């Protein structure tokens, strides 16, 4: 079985969000099960390709444009990574955020098709991700390349929308695909919609998010209406976690590595060390946030619980960057309460690991969350996630309720549709924090939770076999 992952980002080379982790984790886990896969992504400017093998240069015709795609290859832990280079489209400061986004990824999609034609590589399944590669199923069919395709939705809010002319102008596809509805969404052209109706199988990254997408016909521009058409070929498979990257027992970024047998007192020692390093006093509960600061992540409701955090003399450590309005909220809070709130604007892998290892609680008040990665990492490090009741958060956090036995509970889950529930969740966090035996049980449950890609990959393999008709 040969799987191609065609993606706009992939670790260890490029990342803005969880998609990059998924590609790396899933392809490596498949490799361990002796299923061969390759990863194809753009060659962005900060990727050091000096040691890569140059495979070839391909002429790419995009309507009137004569372009060149430089193909490079390297291998990471047994997985071949192919890169599509073009200075004009990809040698830019950021991965996303440009006015010609559709054109850039159209070039990437066309280059992938040319690459497999020229190199004569025949995948069994082409796995594409989000709008950036969602046109590939149609492009393959249009080029009479009849490989099976899977489109995975990681973030339904981004749909790659444009005017109908883009179809011909960038993708070399006839207007007919717009007229017959294949590429039309409302009255415009949408890459994601096209992918949804042309892939063989549609997936998203958790079971609950799959249900949400099917039942919520209003959100995401009404995408649910289209997804409903594919109901029979649509499944949710919860993402896994890379247990090597995130392992408190061998984490080189943390001062006192620990496992279940040493978590008490070592987690506390890590916390003390981190608080010292940011010159915070060592008293009270410590909350962490590691997040892209976008509307999706729900951080606008943070001010609701700040009074409580300050009153309890708790600490809040935030790491992340994103839309300026959310950066401003957090910046403002950290200036107002310099002894309790610490904000690192940007991203630091080493600081992220320290936060995961040191905090008592990790906050994720997401408005929607197809899967979510941080809650899985937090649990592996014995940090109790406080999450909203959406998407993958529902599937991966077992809620603790005061009136119920703890059993497997390992986090706090609240209803995001009612703001006061967030406040109650923080109240509950303080109750847990002050009752050390409950806190310890939750920490143990969290650390015992199994979420490794090595286990999760089985669901993907089952799906691949089903698509290919293999028993």
Q: How many residues bind ligand GLC (CB under 6 A)?
A: 14
Site for ligand GLC in 303-362 (CB under 6 A): none
Q: Residue 129 or residue 184: which is nearer to ligand GLC going by CB?
A: 129
Q: Residue 15 or residue 141: which is nearer to ligand GLC going by CB?
A: 15
Q: Does residue 239 interact with ligand GLC by CB under 6 A?
A: yes
Per CB under 6 A, which region of 192-200, 363-371, 382-390, 430-438 contacts ligand GLC? Answer: 363-371
* Buried/exposed 103-130: b ≥16 CB within 10 Å, e otherwise: bbbbbbbbbbbbbbeeeeeebbbbbbbb
Report in angstroms how near the CB of residue 393 gets to ligand GLC at its nearest. 9
Report in angstroms how near the CB of residue 150 gets to ligand GLC at its nearest. 14
Q: Does residue 139 interact with ligand GLC by CB under 6 A?
A: no
- 74, 53 Cβ separation under 8 angstroms: yes
Binding mask 390-429 for ligand GLC (x = CB under 6 A): --x-------------------------------------
Per CB under 6 A, which region of 11-19, 221-229, 308-316, 353-361 contacts ligand GLC? Answer: 11-19
Could you say which of 3, 22, 26, 126 contacts ligand GLC (CB under 6 A)?
22
Q: Does residue 240 interact with ligand GLC by CB under 6 A?
A: no
Q: Residue 380 or residue 441: which is nearer to ligand GLC going by CB?
A: 380
Could you say which of 84, 138, 139, 205 contacts ligand GLC (CB under 6 A)?
205
Per CB under 6 A, which region of 5-13, 326-334, 371-379, 397-405 contacts ligand GLC? Answer: 371-379
Could you say which of 240, 298, 372, 382 contacts ligand GLC (CB under 6 A)?
372
C-alpha of 425 from chain center: 25
Could you say which of 8, 18, 412, 446 contacts ligand GLC (CB under 6 A)?
18
User: DSSP label at 293?
Assistant: B
Report in angstroms how near the CB of residue 237 gets to ligand GLC at its nearest. 10
Residue 253: C-alpha distances to residues 70, 243, 250 (Å) = 36, 15, 9
Residue 192: C-alpha distances to residues 80, 185, 225, 435, 447 (Å) = 27, 9, 13, 48, 37
Write down the residue that tokens 């603790």 correspond to. 400
Q: Residue 143 or residue 389: which is nearer to ligand GLC going by CB?
A: 389
Q: Does residue 370 interact with ligand GLC by CB under 6 A?
A: yes
Per CB under 6 A, which region of 12-20, 119-127, 352-360, 406-414 contacts ligand GLC? Answer: 12-20
Could you say which of 223, 371, 384, 397 contacts ligand GLC (CB under 6 A)?
371
Q: Residue 125 or residue 393: which is nearer to ligand GLC going by CB?
A: 393
Q: Does residue 291 interact with ligand GLC by CB under 6 A?
A: no
Detail the DSSP E strand segments found in 77-185: 79-85, 125-129, 148-153, 161-162, 184-185
Residues whose CB falls within 8 Å of the CB of residue 156, separated by 6 or more in sequence, listed in order: 192, 204, 213, 219, 220, 223, 370
Residues whose CB falls within 8 Å of the CB of residue 417, separated by 6 or more in sequence, listed in order: none
DSSP-based three-state secondary structure for 153: strand
Q: Residue 116 or residue 293: which is nearer to ligand GLC going by CB?
A: 293
**CA nearest 2: which of 99, 88, 121, 177?**
121
DSSP-based three-state secondary structure for 442: helix
Task: Kindly give the interhelix angle for 263-277 and 349-358, rounded to the nearest 10 degrees.
Answer: 130
Q: Does residue 25 interact with ligand GLC by CB under 6 A?
A: no
Report in angstroms how near the CB of residue 271 gets to ligand GLC at its nearest. 26
Q: Does residue 17 interact with ligand GLC by CB under 6 A?
A: yes
Report in angstroms how near the CB of residue 55 gets to ligand GLC at its nearest. 28
- 13, 25 Cβ separation under 8 angstroms: no
Report DSSP letters for 365-393, one per residue.
--S--SS-SHHHHHHHTTPEEEEESSHHH
d(CA 124, CA 93) in angstroms, rounded, equals 35
Report DSSP letters for 341-367, one per residue.
EEEEES--HHHHHHHHHH-SEEEE--S
Please provide the size of the chain in residues: 471
Report in angstroms how near the CB of residue 238 gets to ligand GLC at its nearest. 9
Per CB under 6 A, which region of 88-96, 158-166, 370-378, 409-417 contacts ligand GLC? Answer: 370-378
Report in angstroms how near the CB of residue 373 gets to ligand GLC at its nearest. 5
**CA nearest 87: which of 40, 44, 41, 51?**
44
Describe the strand order of the beta sheet including 65-76 as a list of residue ranges: 53-62, 65-76, 79-85, 36-42, 2-6, 125-129, 148-153, 201-204, 234-236
Site for ligand GLC in 429-448 (CB under 6 A): none
Could you say which of 114, 242, 369, 395 contacts ligand GLC (CB under 6 A)?
369
Could you say which of 39, 373, 384, 442 contacts ligand GLC (CB under 6 A)?
373
Q: What residue is closest to ligand GLC based on CB?
A: 18
Binding mask 147-166 for ligand GLC (x = CB under 6 A): -------xx-----------
- Enter the tokens of residue 205: 């990254």
Q: Which chain residues interact with ligand GLC by CB under 6 A?
A: 17-19, 22, 154-155, 205, 239, 369-373, 392
């Amino acid at each position: 079985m040969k799987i191609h992952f065609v993606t706009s980002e992939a670790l260890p080379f490029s990342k803005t969000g969880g998609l990059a982790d998924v590609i790396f984790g899933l392809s490596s886990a498949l490799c361990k099960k002796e299923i061969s896969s390759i990863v194809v992504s753009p060659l962005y400017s900060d990727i050091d390709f000096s040691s890569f093998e140059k495979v070839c240069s391909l002429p790419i015709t995009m309507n009137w444009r004569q372009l060149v795609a430089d193909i490079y290859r390297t291998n990471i832990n047994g997985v071949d990574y192919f890169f599509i280079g073009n200075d004009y489209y990809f040698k830019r400061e950021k991965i996303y955020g440009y006015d010609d986004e559709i054109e850039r990824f159209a070039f990437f999609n066309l280059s992938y098709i040319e690459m497999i034609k020229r190199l004569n590589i025949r995948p069994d399944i082409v796995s594409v991700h989000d709008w950036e590669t969602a046109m590939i199923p149609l492009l393959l069919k249009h080029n009479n390349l009849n490989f099976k395709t899977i489109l995975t939705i990681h973030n339904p809010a981004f749909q790659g929308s444009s005017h109908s002319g883009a179809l011909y102008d960038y993708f070399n596809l006839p207007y007919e695909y717009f007229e017959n509805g294949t590429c039309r969404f409302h009255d415009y052209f949408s890459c994601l919609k096209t992918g949804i109706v042309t892939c063989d199988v549609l997936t998203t990254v958790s079971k609950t998010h799959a249900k949400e997408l099917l039942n919520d016909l209003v959100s995401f521009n009404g995408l649910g209406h289209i997804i409903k058409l594919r109901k029979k070929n649509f499944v949710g498979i919860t993402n896994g976690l890379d247990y090597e990257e995130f392992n408190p027992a061998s984490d080189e970024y943390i001062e006192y590595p620990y496992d279940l047998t040493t978590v008490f007192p070592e987690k506390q020692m890590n916390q003390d060390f981190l608080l010292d390093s940011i010159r915070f006093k060592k008293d009270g509960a410590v909350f962490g946030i590691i997040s892209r600061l976008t509307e999706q992540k729900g951080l606008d409701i943070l001010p609701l619980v700040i009074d409580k955090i300050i009153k309890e003399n708790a600490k809040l450590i935030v790491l992340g960057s994103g839309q300026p309005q959310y950066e401003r909220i957090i910046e403002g809070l950290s200036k107002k309460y310099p002894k309790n709130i610490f904000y690192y604007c940007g991203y630091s892998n080493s600081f992220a690991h320290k936060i995961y290892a040191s905090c008592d609680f990790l906050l994720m008040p997401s408005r929607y969350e197809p899967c979510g990665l941080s809650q899985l990492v937090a649990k592996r490090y014995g940090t109790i996630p406080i999450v909203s009741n959406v998407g993958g958060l529902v599937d991966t956090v077992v809620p603790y309720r005061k009136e119920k036995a703890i059993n497997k509970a390992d986090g706090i889950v609240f209803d995001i549709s009612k703001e006061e529930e967030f406040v109650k969740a923080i109240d509950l966090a303080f109750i847990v924090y002050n009752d050390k035996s409950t806190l310890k049980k939750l920490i143990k449950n969290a650390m015992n939770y199994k979420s490794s890609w090595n286990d999760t990959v089985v669901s993907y393999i089952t799906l691949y076999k089903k698509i290919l008709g293999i028993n």
